[in-house]
Amino acid sequence: MSMRRLGPVAAAVAMAWSAAAAAQPLGPGLDGLQAARPGAAFLVEPIAERTVAALPQAPLYWRVESYPSLEQARAAAGELSLAAEAWGQAWLFTLGPAGGSSPGGRKLAEVGPVPVPPASRYLLRVNRAGGPPGAATPVHTHPGSEAFYVLKGQLTQKTPHGIARLEAGAAMNGHEPGMTMQLVSTGREDLEQLVMFVVDADRPFSSPATFD
């Protein structure tokens, strides 16, 4: 098992997403949403990740808990936990069975069951993400699933399953691995969210895609 604490890579990642989004129009079916604004960067910053060789067999859920400090979050972390700071708060993200809790934490969301891809190694990653109204990601896929927890603003996700919107204080489970998607900040204020991933560690984390 290995774990990396990630440095400040937000600027480079945000610029890459912004340039790709500006060059790529919103996918079909998003015409009723606020149009993407060229140059409005959609921030994507990895804040914690861990690679594991195997996952438990039982249905798995992401548990999102807040802590008074990063040190307390790290002290409560388990085998499949990720501690990080984002949006002015210390967090602990734990992948495990439904109904769990960590000592000293405030449980804010439990999201699942998480679709898990077949893999010889798994990357567990948490991103902080968001942007001003109109900021959008390119259409893309991941070799696994992602779950969302919105702190501020409104998130809209388009997939072949349709359009889903998520308001502040709400969580949403991801679709099956390899799902084509696009994310847009569609609220009246900047989007601030936390995104939890379970992906195949031996494949590219994100790949360009198109909607049929």
pLDDT tens digits, residue range 101-142? Answer: 999 999 999 999 999 999 999 999 999 999 999 999 999 999
Q: Which domains does the chain have, with CATH numbers?
A: 2-208 (2.60.120.10)
Q: What is the pTM of this model?
A: 0.85
Distance in angstroms (rounded) separating the CA atoms of residues 60 and 150: 20
Alpha-carbon gap, residue 153 to 80, rounded angstroms:
29
Query: In which element (H, E) is residue 44 found?
Result: strand 43-52
* pLDDT tens-digit readout, 174-194: 899 999 999 999 999 999 999
Tokens (6 digits) for 74: 């790290």
State the Cα–Cα distance between residues 90 and 81, nearest whole angstrom.
13
